[in-house]
Amino acid sequence: MPPASLVPLLRAAAIGTCLGASVVVVHAGQGDAIATAEPHLSIIPRAAAEAARVEQVTTPATDFSAPEKFEARPAGAATSLKRVNHDAFSHASANMPFEREMDFKVGNGLFRKVWVAAPSSTEASDGLGPLYNARSCQRCHIKDGRGHPYEGQDDNAVSMFLRVSVPGGAPGPIPGSHRVQPDPVYGEQLQDFSIPGVPAEYRLDVSWEEIEVALSGGETAWLRRPTWRAEQLGYGPLAEGAMLSPRVAPQMIGLGLLEAVPAADILALADPEDADRDGISGRPNIAWSREFDRPMLGRFGLKAGAPTIRQQSAAAFSGDMGLSTSLFPAGAGECTDVQPECQAAPDGGSPLEVDDVALDLVTFYSRNLAVPARRDVDDPRVLRGKQVFHDAGCAACHTPKFVTHRLADRPEQSFQLIWPYTDMLLHDMGEGLADNRPEGLADSQEWRTAPLWGIGLTQTVSGHSKFLHDGRARNLLEAVLWHGGEAEASRAQVVEMPPADRAALLTFLGSL
């Protein structure tokens, strides 16, 4: 854990950036430079009157007798008002100017593109692998929603993988952080597919343990605890002590709006030493930006390990598909030096397999996948569930509202009141959800608060209702009951509350 003094310094740096500084650097400890500038954004500083308005509209709700103003549009003017169906997560920001729609459509084409191994007659689409988890972005983020978790049988629709590391990572570039120590043979991510002539790394397997949970009112819930395994390893055993972390691809909606939330507003919610004694001690992950060569606030990924959508996209091209970009230029992707067939395989780069034009178009597409409008916001059961959500302390981590920066070049994300239900901070979720694998400042039990917008449409879009980082929860109640650590008190309230309130809470979550 970083020193408690780190967060105030980070917050000060972020506030300076919001006031217009292009780069703000502060020092902590023994002269370690910590920067939380936002060089990826062209920020127009807020006027004093605007700041006062923002504070007013983001004040937590206290009246649950009616919906709050603008609550039905969780992404502000960018909210999609189109009919809700299986394409509900695939629409563009509703406020996108006409002249930018073509970029969105071309980005969509690249997101869906099926890549092939090199060499091929289609040079613009070759370079897949040699090791990979999927042949397209859409293959993991199905319909731009959640991936399909593995259930323990052959299933061509599975879209998840295992991250892997071994103990002993060296100190990272950020004070208090540690670099992931990759497996010396398999790297940081296991790939279950490969091009011809190259062995695949593994096959995923899992076994389940059923756990009974007694609820108030004589009700019972069943949780299932997974044990994940890497089977049929193609290059020998994993290193001793290897730590496996399963990852299901998350939904894609609203990413550009999360990227546009002021760092100062996120850091203002951090309380690493739990100074207010509410049991919640969220803290930021600070990630190294490959694009800007400096520390930045981590916002994306299950442990907030990526600072921008562009870097997250480039990392996925490299780790998931073995495709090189300017940020991750290795043509062999995740291949290590002890995988000779992999290193010797043909490379589709000339010099890169995904050039900056293509990367920028995919980033633009990912930034502008719209959040659908809320349903039933004035339903009495939804309003009661919203009150239960707040009374149980869920909003302490799942922060309902932010207002994005006013931006000079991103009209879709500029100065929008949004309702993502996340603070984008790291929280200890308890031993039950621990993957025992640190990442940057995140320890083995910490995860970024998942945004809740769109969660009620998971079944509609993705065809399943599996939740959490590994899909172990088969419904929203199971997801809630897996919460521990900082959320243990809220979980206990859900267990003990009257069944009608528990049902109302789930109805509210289903309306998001």
Q: How far apart are CA 215 and CA 201, in angstroms?
A: 42
Residue 480: partners with Cβ closer than 8 Å, 6 or more residues away: 491, 494, 505
Mean local confidence (pLDDT), 380-406 = 98
What's the confidence (pLDDT) of residue 384?
Answer: 98
Q: Is 430:491 a contact under the CB 8 Å cutoff?
A: no
- pLDDT category, 235, cuts 50, 70, 90? very high
Give the angle subtended at the CA of 257 by the CAs of 395 and 448, to the nearest 5°: 45
- DSSP-derived 3-state class of residue 449: coil
Q: How far apart are CA 126 and CA 198, in angstroms?
A: 16
- How do residues 169-227 score in pLDDT, each as one tens digit? 777 777 777 678 899 999 999 999 999 999 999 999 999 999 999 999 999 999 999 99
Q: Is the pLDDT of residue 16 over 60?
A: no
Burial class (CB in 10 A: 0-12, 13-18, 19+), 31: exposed
Q: How far apart are CA 366 and CA 251, in angstroms?
A: 10
Report the candidate in 344, 322, 346 with the shortest Cα–Cα distance to residue 187. 322
Q: Is 247:312 a contact under the CB 8 Å cutoff?
A: no
Q: Is 120:126 a contact under the CB 8 Å cutoff?
A: yes
Mean local confidence (pLDDT), 32-46 = 78
Q: Is 257:420 a contact under the CB 8 Å cutoff?
A: yes
Q: How far apart are CA 66 and CA 49, in angstroms?
A: 27
More confident of the two residues 295 and 503: 503
Q: How far apart are CA 439 and CA 185, in angstroms?
A: 19
Q: How far apart are CA 443 and CA 448, in angstroms?
A: 11
- DSSP-derived 3-state class of residue 300: strand
What's the confidence (pLDDT) of residue 458?
Answer: 97
Q: Is 346:228 a contact under the CB 8 Å cutoff?
A: no
- How do residues 331-352 score in pLDDT, each as one tens digit? 999 999 999 999 999 998 878 9
Tokens coding 196 = 């011809």
What's the confidence (pLDDT) of residue 155?
Answer: 59
Tell me the pLDDT of the chain averaged across its residues.
91
Domain ranges of the chain: 6-510
Q: Is the pLDDT of residue 111 over 80?
A: yes
Q: How far apart are CA 284 and CA 428, in angstroms?
A: 12
- How do residues 425-447 score in pLDDT, each as one tens digit? 999 999 999 998 888 889 989 99
- How do residues 453-495 score in pLDDT, each as one tens digit? 999 999 999 999 999 999 999 999 999 999 999 999 999 999 9
Report the candidate in 83, 53, 34, 13 with the shortest Cα–Cα distance to residue 416. 53
Q: Got the DSSP string for 86-107?
A: TTTTSPBPTT--GGGHHHHHHH
Helices (H) then strands (E): counts for the chain: 14, 17
Beta bridge pairs of residue 214: 220
Tokens coding 190 = 């296991």
Q: Is the pLDDT of residue 78 over 90?
A: yes
What's the confidence (pLDDT) of residue 311?
Answer: 98
Question: Does the reported pTM lie above 0.75?
Answer: yes
Q: Is 339:235 a contact under the CB 8 Å cutoff?
A: yes
Residue 473 DSSP code: B
Tokens coding 75 = 């992404």
What's the confidence (pLDDT) of residue 27?
Answer: 34
Q: Got the DSSP string for 130-157?
A: SEES-SSHHHHSGGGS------SS--TT
What's the confidence (pLDDT) of residue 154?
Answer: 61
Q: How far apart are CA 179 and CA 174, in angstroms?
A: 10
Q: Is 325:359 a contact under the CB 8 Å cutoff?
A: yes
**Listed range (45-49, 85-89, 415-419, 438-442) with the worst mean pLDDT:** 438-442
Q: How far apart are CA 37 and CA 487, in angstroms?
A: 30
- DSSP-derived 3-state class of residue 11: helix
Q: How far is CA 226 from the centre of its chain?
A: 21
What's the confidence (pLDDT) of residue 33?
Answer: 37
3-state percent breakdown (helix, strand, coil) of the chain, nearest 5: 30, 20, 55
What's the confidence (pLDDT) of residue 167?
Answer: 86
What's the confidence (pLDDT) of residue 46?
Answer: 93
- pLDDT category, 15, cuts 50, 70, 90? very low
> What percent of the chain stands above pLDDT 70?
91
What's the confidence (pLDDT) of residue 23?
Answer: 34
Q: How far is CA 332 from the centre of its chain?
A: 25
What's the confidence (pLDDT) of residue 30?
Answer: 27
Q: How far apart are CA 217 and CA 235, in angstroms?
A: 53
